A = this chain, B = another copy of it.
Amino acid sequence: MDKVIRMTLLYDFYGPLLTERQQKFFDLYYGNDYSLGEIAESYGVSRQAVHDMLKRAENILVNYENKLGLIDKFLVQRNKLAEVARLLNEAGELAPQRLVKARKLLQELLEMDRG
């Protein structure tokens, strides 16, 4: 998995466990594509300090996932849901009303998962 996607997922799950400043830097760097230099300048700290704080934040998030494994479970579940959605979509002509509703719910689930 791409590092930015992985980090974003880790942050979605465990971000509230970081300090306020770690969250801010993380969000700017991974969520808003700021460079280390830009963050450093905005906050009046060195580029190295930003780098170190991000690295520490990454390690914290990775350690939580290593202990809890909730993202791994979530990804397995999302794959299964995607498969269910595929099956239902292909069965589309057969039971229109209920399948439309089921599809809508599954779509909601899949969108919620990304949130």
Chain A residues engaging chain B, CB cutoff 8 angstroms: 13-14, 16-17, 64, 67-68, 70, 73, 76-77, 80-81, 83-84, 87-88, 90-91, 94-95, 98-99, 101-102, 105-106, 108-109, 112-113
Residue of B nearest to A102 (CB): B87
Q: How many monomers of this protein are in the complex? A: 2
A-B contact pairs, 20 of them (CB 8 A): A13-B68, A14-B68, A16-B67, A17-B64, A17-B68, A77-B112, A80-B105, A80-B109, A81-B109, A84-B84, A84-B105, A84-B106, A84-B109, A87-B98, A88-B88, A90-B98, A91-B99, A91-B102, A94-B94, A95-B95
Closest 4 A-B residue pairs measured CB to CB?
Answer: A94-B95, A91-B98, A91-B95, A16-B67
